[in-house]
Amino acid sequence: MAMFRQCPDSGLFFHKSAESLMKAHAVLGVVYLLIGGVLGLLVALTRMPSLHVLNAEDFYLALSIHGTAILIFWIIFFEMAVLYFAASTLLRCRPATPGIGWIGFLLMVIGSTLVMVAFFRGNSSVMFTSYVPMPAEPIFYLGLILFAVGALIGCFIFLGTLVIAKKENTYDGSIPLVTFGALTATVIAIFTIASGAVILIPTLLWSLGFINHIDPLMYRTIWWALGHSSQQINVSAHVAIWYAIAAIIFGAKPMSEKVSRTAFLLYILFLQLASAHHILADPGVSSTWKVFNTSYAMYLAVLASMIHGLTVPGCIEIAQRKKGFNNGLFEWLQKAPWANPVFSGMFISLIIFGFIGGITGVVMGTEQINLIIHNTIFVPGHFHATVAVGTTLAFMAITYFLIPVLFRRQLIWPNACKWQPYIFGGGMLILSLLLLGAGTLGVPRRHWDINFSDAALQFQYAGTAITMMGIAGLGGLMAAVGGAMFCLIAVGSLVFGKRLDPGASLFSSFGFPMAASCYNIERPGKLELAPIEQTGDSGVQAKGTFVLALVFLASFVVYFFINAKYLSSIWPMG
């Protein structure tokens, strides 16, 4: 039976059941982005000292939901869609066991719903980290476990699909780099979820009363193997998407397969060790362990990110120069399609992830510098640059590509599409920078009232810190507008967008396959090797990118030593 259709615009092949799974996961992801985004706005407005919109109890509830819904549910649902895309669509292969894929999806839906129910019942405002011994309701842990099992199923189906593709010979040579990036994400996901099981299952039993003690330090150490590694899934996934968008928009080919894949291998080996970032200010774990792990074994995973940071824009530069945009250092960048949200979203994601997220992450992950940063609002400042801009904006960018290609709907409001990445990215940039600033002045994260109005003792933060929190709220508002635009465009296009294919009915926008007549290909032609191009030294050089990279390095070095200097000014301790 013919199960494939070919998208006439992109030439990609979609298998009926993989396509439905992709759609279902992506749509659920956007639902959680919406929920998380609304609460994020309320959180940001509460942390504006002048507005302070929620009361304390609601604030901690809203923050728990914001973190969980957006960081875990939005990102992982979307990542599952990316995995199906990278294996089934890119390799022109049927997905392994789609029926079990639906079971995985269902588990993720049930699990995330249980967690939401636990939140709204009001007794589980424990933040997404749920540090013991502060208890949440059992259904909170149960929901997380079910969600994780569902995601694990998605990972195994990804691997299974790779096996089938190899066996059925759907492609020639090695898997594409983008699929390799998705494989990296899968590997990290498997470790992540296994760690999650190791710690959350006993915690569930503890909350049910079968175990009477969970060691808080043990919990934190193993929990962060889940919590931090899951961020590394995001990094791998969004780097893969950067490469994908560079290929889709510019036809860019990796500068060197060897270098890019080796960089991903460094991720596989070392990225997950950095879970230790979260344990640096904890008692009991030795400095040797901290230094080794926090540095990803001598910063080899940072090296990998710095490599991707060069090769992604580098491959775009080379593709652009070959098209004739060869003047000066930056004509290739000036003449890039800045009005196309697929490109602008991706490029803003890359720049802010690297310059803000990357640099601050390494600085605060330095064992001793962490003393001046641990648990301050600097930390959310850092990860809104990484996960809210780096990952989320990259996912948004690829969505602008997927709505026509996967859902076969035209995007509504082209003007709003054009501006959305700038509004979201710009707002997040303001939010991040000001949270980083306020954090440097010691403002705590997860804190309802930094004016301490109903505390027995008193303390006043510097006026600048209070002002910065106020401006951060405005940035948050702008980001929320950008986020809302995205959700409206995405859902609006699925419902009201012009059908590009007669088979793309309303129903098919939300997970169901398109009309049967669309699927008229029994077996797509074998995926051929990429055409040969001049590579290596003899080809065009990415000089502009190299200059950008040097600017990056200079900022990195300066910012690192500023913080080292700051550290040397606090009370001597040891």
Whichever of 94 and 253 has its CB closer to another protein, that residue is 253
- Name every residue whose Cβ is closer than 8 Å to that of residue 499 and which is 6 or more positions away in sequence: 408, 409, 410, 505
Pick from 19, 83, 159, 169: which is nearest to 528 by CA?
169
- Given ligand HEM, another protein, none, residue 480, with its beta carbon under 5 to 8 Å by kind, binds ligand HEM
Whichever of 5 and 426 has its CB closer to another protein, that residue is 5
Pick from 300, 277, 301: which is nearest to 289 by CA?
277
Segment near ligand HEM (CB under 6 A); pick from 7-15, 66-74, 177-185, 503-511: 66-74
Q: How far is the CB of 235 from ligand HEM (least distance, A)?
A: 13
Q: How far is the CB of 144 from ligand HEM (least distance, A)?
A: 14
Residue 408 in tokens: 């076969």
Of residues 18 through 37, those in contact with ligand HEM by CB under 6 A are: 37
Q: How far is the CB of 25 from another protein (least distance, A)?
A: 20
Whichever of 47 and 220 has its CB closer to ligand HEM, that residue is 47
Contacts 24+ apart (CB under 8 A), 524-528: 524/4, 524/6, 524/13, 524/92, 524/170, 525/92, 526/92, 526/169, 526/170, 526/171, 526/172, 527/90, 527/91, 527/92, 527/170, 527/171, 527/172, 528/172
Whichever of 63 and 240 has its CB closer to ligand HEM, that residue is 63
- Given ligand HEM, another protein, none, residue 265, with its beta carbon under 5 to 8 Å by kind, binds another protein
- Given another protein, ligand HEM, none, residue 293, with its beta carbon under 5 to 8 Å by kind, binds another protein
Distance CA(445)–CA(47), nearest Å, equals 10
Whichever of 273 and 443 has its CB closer to ligand HEM, that residue is 443
Q: How far is the CB of 456 from ligand HEM (least distance, A)?
A: 22
Whichever of 325 and 546 has its CB closer to another protein, that residue is 546
- Given another protein, ligand HEM, none, residue 73, with its beta carbon under 5 to 8 Å by kind, binds none
Of residues 96 through 135, those in contact with ligand HEM by CB under 6 A are: 127-128
Distance CA(381)–CA(376), nearest Å, equals 9
* SS3 assignment, position 167: helix
Q: Return the amino acid letter for 369.
A: I
Does 145 interact with ligand HEM (rule: CB under 6 A)? no
Residue 73 in tokens: 């549910």
Whichever of 75 and 363 has its CB closer to another protein, that residue is 363
Give Cα 185 to chain centroid, integer Å. Answer: 11
Contacts 24+ apart (CB under 8 A), 368-371: 368/567, 369/563, 369/564, 369/567, 370/277, 370/280, 370/281, 370/294, 371/281, 371/567, 371/570
Residues that bind ligand HEM (CB under 6 A): 37, 40-41, 43-44, 47, 63, 66-67, 70-71, 75, 127-128, 377, 380, 384, 387-388, 392, 445-447, 476, 479-480, 483
